[in-house]
Amino acid sequence: MATSFLKTTPNVFQRHQNPFAFVANSISARTSVPISQKRRSRSFALVSMSATPVETSLVKSPPSSQNTGIPIMVNACTGKMGKAVINAGEAAGLNVVPVSFGCDEESGQTFEIGGKEFLVHGPSDRESALVSALERYPNLIVVDYTVPNAVNDCNSIGAIFNTFSYEGNAELYCKVVAFLAAMEIMAEQFPGAFSGYSLQVLESHQASKVDASGTAKAVISCFNKLGVSFDMDQIKLIRDPRQQLEMVGVPEEHLSGHAFHMYHLTSPDDTVSFEFQHNVCGRSIYAEGTVDAVLFLAKKIEAKDEKRLYNMIDVLREGNMR
């Protein structure tokens, strides 16, 4: 019988420099939005993310002067990811506009973030606020951590979208995207290559994340195609802070936000094993990925690209990373 990797490995996860996650399937369909009869058509870009963020830390190189001045509006600016994107955008030389959309409780309030005051608009005045922002900041790019359907609220202003869509913020790191793309290629070209192997999956996230990681599910799907039998309900979820510290090795300062994953394959006779792991601490890597997405969209808008929906695979293929 195969021995559990939780017993054979003293520190199940070791800190690693190349975390990976999953990317949604690319969709190339053009998104058209009805144009209001009372207003002329307005065009802006939307970077939309739709899952609870995971964390890591990364220091980016200084921005080039050509990035300076691209206007972006960061919605949910009072949230942890919102603040991280604002800081990353400012550091990259983007023009982070002092306007944001938020909840009813925050509507009409001003919040200081990174030395700048942001006026938050609630759902009721969202349309008028966006129209005003578009008039004041041409070529505005909106960063919104929400569900993709939320962009439908903008239909009445006659907007045309260039959109980034994600199923999770983990997609925002291009090296993560590259890893999963390689996994998917291997699964497609070598189906059944690991038939007979057993798989153990462990993932640790902050206690507030109650469900299994979409990242883990995507990687497991690749292993399934490679011939490994494994059900999603077999994922071992670690949410207890003490276990995360003592067994997983999560740094104490990142207990409130991290994503540590391990995938352990064992041959039928226990003589061969493979192990994949990715450890993520801090939010800055995903904020930096958001900035990369903004720069990519700005480039596509300037080139008048007809495509309307992108993901980080597009950024990766174009080599559009700083």
Model pLDDT for residues 69-120, shown as the tens digit of each residue: 899 999 999 988 899 999 999 999 999 999 999 989 999 999 999 899 999 9
Could you tell me where the beta strands, DSSP code E, fall in 180-249? 198-205, 236-238
Model pLDDT for residues 2-46, shown as the tens digit of each residue: 433 333 333 443 433 333 322 222 333 333 333 233 444 455 566
Domain residue ranges of the chain, discontinuous segments joined by +: 5-22+172-281, 42-169+284-318
**3-class state of residue 33 by DSSP:** coil
Distance of alpha carbon 144 from alpha carbon 141, whole angstroms: 10
**HSE of 3 in the Cβ direction (CA atoms, 13 Å)?**
7
Whether 298 and 43 have beta carbons less than 8 Å apart is answered as no
Question: For the chain, what percent of residues have pLDDT higher than 70?
Answer: 69
Partners of 274 in the β-ladder: 265
User: Rounded mean pLDDT of the chain?
Assistant: 76
- Residue 152: the pLDDT is 53
Q: Which two tokens stand for residue 117?
A: 């005051």
**Residues designated catalytic:** 205, 209
Distance of alpha carbon 57 from alpha carbon 309, whole angstroms: 28
CATH topology classification for 42-169+284-318: Rossmann fold (3.40.50)
Whether 263 and 277 have beta carbons less than 8 Å apart is answered as yes
Whether 289 and 143 have beta carbons less than 8 Å apart is answered as no
Q: Mean pLDDT over residues 177-189, rounded?
A: 89
Identical topology for domains 5-22+172-281 and 42-169+284-318: no
Model pLDDT for residues 149-177, shown as the tens digit of each residue: 555 555 444 444 445 544 455 556 667 77
CATH topology classification for 5-22+172-281: Dihydrodipicolinate Reductase; domain 2 (3.30.360)
State residue 188 phi and psi, 5-degree precision.
-75, -40
